[in-house]
Amino acid sequence: MPFPGYSRFVEALRRCTRVGAVLLATLALPAATAHAVTEPPQIVAPGGKWISGDLLQQTGLNCSTAILGEPYTEVMVSGNASYGGLPSVPKVGDPYWTAFLVAIPGNPCGTGSSSVVTTVILPPNTQVDTNRQVRCFGLPRNHTSTTEWLDLTNESWSFLGQSGPYCAAQPSISPYHQGGLQFGFRPLANGQFFWIFVPVKSSAPLIGAAGPSPGHGFTWLTDATGVYANPGRSFVWANVVEGGLGDTPFVYFARDPTNIPYWKEDAPNDPGNGNITTKSRVEWFANLYSAGKTGTFCWQLFKGAADASPDIDSCPPSSFPGWNGAVDTSGDLWQVFGSGGAAGPNGGYSPLYYDDDPPGTHFTLRWLFIPTTGSPVFEDSTFTTLAGPDQDGDGVPNNGTDQCPAVKGTLANGCLPPVQADPDKDGVYGDADKCPGTDGQGSLNGCPGGIIPDPPKPEVLTGILTGIKSGALLKKSKLAKGLTVKYTCTVDSAAKGALTITKKTAKKLRIKTKKKKVTIASGKGQCSKASGGSVKLKLARAYAKKVKRAKKKFPATLAVGLTAPNQTPVTMKRSVKVG
C-alpha cells in the first residue's frame, strides 16, 4: 500500500515556466542543480509553456579508455524533444515551436566530437512556419550553472577544415529518414549542449496519444558519430485544439510511460510507520487543457484497477497535503510538476512512497478535472512500482533482473551494450563505416569528406590482335609451317586461333563441304595479362594441299577466341587474304 508522504511533500500543481531547468536535469546535470540563467525556451518564447517527451540515449565507446585502459561503453549522445512556447495549448493556426535539446555526456572517439545531424518528423497537418526564424543555442563544454547560453542562430562552426552553420535556416529533405526534415549538423564535444527551436503551425487539430500509432507528435532524431548505432529518437505527443471550438476540457500525457518509478536511495526509513523503507517512489506527469473553464484538477490512486473507492483521493471533498488543484481563467494549459520533497528526479510530481511490501505492485492513477460548470473529465494512467532496489537509477530493479546492478544501463537487462571495435577510431562502427580502415574525420559514413571511394572495378576480359591488320595477306608458305598471331588481353586467359573460309571460297579451292564455313588452319595458345601471347596457326592436314594449289589469293577470316574463368569469352576477328 502507498502511504501519504511527509507533510514536507508539498505543492504540486503550478503553471510551469521552468521547463528548461527540468530538461537540463533530465539530461546530464544533477537534479539539484538549478540553472541560474535564463533558459533558451524563455528567450525564444517568454512566458511560454513547453511539454517534453522521452529521453533518447545513444551509447558509444569511451574514448580515453579506448586508448589508455580497459575500454567501456557509456552514454555518448542524449536528447529530448519538446513543443510549445505559448502560454496556452496551441490552437489551429497558432505560431508555436518544436524544440530539441542535445547533450554529449560521453567522450566520443575519433575527432573528440560527435557530429550530430538533427532531423524532425512533423505530425500531420503541421508545417515549418517560414515567417519565423529557426533559433539555436549552446552551452560550452566547461559550463557551470551561471554560464549564459550562447545564441548560435547566426553562428558557424569550423572544425578539421570543415565549417557550416550551427542552425540551418531552412530544412533539407533528410537523406537518412523518410519524411524527415533535416536541420543541419554540427560537431559537439563532451559536455556541450545544443538546443534548436523550429517554428511550426498546424492547420488541423492534433490529438496526441489518441492519434494513429504512435500518436500525433514530434519525432526528433539524431544521427551521430561516436555512437554504436543510429538514429537516436525522442518523441513527444502533441495536442493542438481547434480555435474557438475547443471548449471541451481534456487531460493528456506527453510521453509513454507518463509515470516513472525510481529508487530514492537517500530517503530515510519511516519511524512513524514501523521504520519501513521509503525509497520506492514514482513520479507522475500530466497536462490539462481546461478550455478556459474554472474548476478543480485532482488525482485519485487505486491499487490495481480503478473502482468506486480510491485508495488515496485528492479530489473534493477529500484533499491531499500540499496539493492545490484550483484552476482559474488565467490560462488553459495546466501542467503537473513536483517541487521540494515532492519532486522526482525528472521534475515530476512524486507525493508518495511505496512501502515495498510487496514490491512490483500495480496501480492506476486517475487525473480528474471537475469544472465549475459542465461534466468532469478524466484520464487514467497506470504504473508498477519497482520490484526491488534500483540504486543505479536505470529503472531495472536489483531483484535478479539487473544484470549490471552498479551500472546505469540502457538495455532491458540493466547493462550498457558491450564494447564494439572501431579499428580506425573514427567513431563510426560496424557496417556504418564505409571506410573501415580510414579515419572519416567526423563524417557519418566513416569516409573522409563523406566520400565513399569507387570500389576497384572488376576486370573484364577483352583482347586486341596485334601485328595483323584488317585485309593483311597471310602467306601460304608461313601457314604451312605455322604462322604466329600475336595479341594482348586484360585477364590471363586461354586462346584458340582459327582461319576460316566460306563455302563459296572452299568450292573454288575444290574443297567439298556441306558446312557454311571451313576451318583451314588453327592453333592453341595462352594470353597473359602482363605480356600478351600468341598462337601458331597451322594448315589443317586435310586441306593443306588444296590451299597450296590455289593460284589466286582468296579471302579468309582470322579469329582468336579468349576464355578465362568467370569471364564471358571474347573473340577477336580480322578479315584477311591468303596467298
Q: How far is the CB of 352 from Ca ion (least distance, A)?
A: 21
**Short-list 524, 576, 516, 521, CA closest to 546:** 521
- The C-alpha angle with vertex 346 and arms to 400 and 280, in degrees rounded to 5, equals 40
DSSP class of residue 31 equals T
Return residues touching Ca ion (CB under 5 A): 390, 392, 394, 396, 402, 404, 407, 409, 414, 422, 424, 426, 428, 433, 435, 438, 440, 446
Q: With respect to Ca ion, which residue has the nearer C-beta, 175 or 430?
A: 430
- The C-alpha angle with vertex 231 and arms to 58 and 187, in degrees rounded to 5, equals 70
DSSP per-residue string spanning 361-427: -EEEEEEEEEESSS--EEEEEEEE--SS--TT-SS--TTTT-SSTTS--SSTTS-PPPP---TT-SS
What is the number of helices (H) and of strands (E) in the chain? 6, 37
Q: With respect to Ca ion, which residue has the nearer C-beta, 313 or 422?
A: 422
Give the DSSP H/E element, type plus range, for residue 352. Answer: strand 352-354
Q: How far is the CB of 198 from Ca ion (least distance, A)?
A: 31
Query: How far does the chain reach from its first CA to its final CA, in angstroms?
Result: 113
Q: With respect to Ca ion, which residue has the nearer C-beta, 70 or 431?
A: 431
Residue that the C-alpha cell 530538461 belongs to: 23
Task: Report residue 51 as a C-alpha cell.
Answer: 511539454
The residues that bridge with 27 in the sheet, in sequence order, are none
Q: With respect to Ca ion, which residue has the nearer C-beta, 71 or 165?
A: 71
List, in order, residues 6 or more apart from 360 with CB less than 8 Å away.
Answer: 384, 385, 386, 387, 388, 397
* Cis peptide leading into residue 214 (ω within 30°): yes
